[in-house]
Structure 1
């Protein structure tokens, strides 16, 4: 991994850097294959909510804005109260409960061989951090 500085952040603070993982082409290819198969399954089985746009092909923030505008208009026309919440989760990917994610994938019907691969990929991962050409010892992620 190499740390990349976030614009406008204090260079003296470790939190001001984004870790970028440098992996082999083989690993990147496997990641893409698993991701494509997983997304295909979730889409074809209609597991994802239609309102979910993040990380989905042919969905965008414009879709979300249109959906919200329509909900507001409908509530106004029907003289109903509408509540909306915006949530911005900091470091959301760092906080994913991987065991819970695996349980949810299993409940969605993801095949056991795919689950085993994802479990193996997520657990006991190690990396080395490289700063200014110096590489540190392996650390558990």
Structure 2
């Protein structure tokens, strides 16, 4: 493989300023709440206890591998590779019986030799899709997701919400009623999200176990 002319240290130094991390001491944050959330998250045992949802405890199966492959075949995706040079096309060609023990071992041993955020590695993104599939099954079976959640759900589309809003507006007009709508754009959303709070929400929802770890 070609040798990169840019070192990891140079990439890190360039990336960090663009992370735009929030200042927890700003008035919009509750410092005491942040400390409490961090303490709760740090108290979660490792390994964590099994999930209260059966689907989130079940081991990976050949059907799970097939489901992710089917998703990749019918959707547009980038074949941009990571340092392993493995593409989606390569993974799609590998027999499911060979892929299953690879991903199953990583999940069961809680040892994934990749960074947690997958921007380039198709292998890690494939693994992320497997966990996402298990999570969606657990949430569907427990009827946790409200009907209004249309984003990031199989068979749903964010256009659904626009259609619902348009229907509400048309109905209000026909009745000569007034509708008040707020379109909220949260500044610096992703860097401002407290990760400890997310771990705690998953824990409170009973979504722990090997996929959580």
TM-score (norm 1): 0.55
Check 1:44–1:81 CA distance in 2 against 1; reply closer, same or farther (3 A cut).
Answer: farther
Larger strand share, 1 or 2: 1
Residue 200 of structure 2 is aligned with which of 93, 98, 103?
103
Matched, 1:53 2:150: yes
Secondary structure of the equivalent of 1:114? coil
CA drift of 1:77 comes to 5.1
CA drift of 1:91 comes to 4.6
Secondary structure of the equivalent of 2:210? helix
RMSD: 2.9
Q: Which moved more, 1:79-88 or 1:39-48?
A: 79-88
Matched, 1:28 2:125: yes
Distance 2:177 2:129 in 1: 44
CA drift of 1:32 comes to 1.2
| 1:71-117 residue CA offsets vs partner (Å, 9 max, x unmatched) | 224444566543211123455333321111111112222133332x2
Q: Which residue of structure 1 aligns with residue 184 of structure 2?
A: 87
Q: Which residue of structure 1 aligns with residue 159 of structure 2?
A: 62
- Name the structure, 1 or 2, with higher relative contact order (CA <8 Å, separation 6+): 2
**Which protein is bigger by CA-based radius of gyration?**
2
Secondary structure of the equivalent of 1:113? coil
TM-score (norm 2): 0.39
Secondary structure of the equivalent of 1:112? coil
**Unaligned stretches of 5+ residues in structure 1:** 4-13, 118-141
The count of corresponding residues between Structure 1 and Structure 2 is 101
Distance 1:42 1:113 in 2: 16
Secondary structure of the equivalent of 2:152? coil
Check 1:37–1:77 CA distance in 2 against 1; reply closer, same or farther (3 A cut).
Answer: same
CA drift of 1:29 comes to 2.5
Check 1:29–1:82 CA distance in 2 against 1; reply closer, same or farther (3 A cut).
Answer: same
Check 1:40–1:109 CA distance in 2 against 1; reply closer, same or farther (3 A cut).
Answer: same
Distance 1:82 1:68 in 2: 10
Distance 2:183 2:163 in 1: 15
Pairing of 1:8-19 with structure 2 (within 5 A): none
Check 1:90–1:58 CA distance in 2 against 1; reply closer, same or farther (3 A cut).
Answer: farther
Larger helix share, 1 or 2: 2
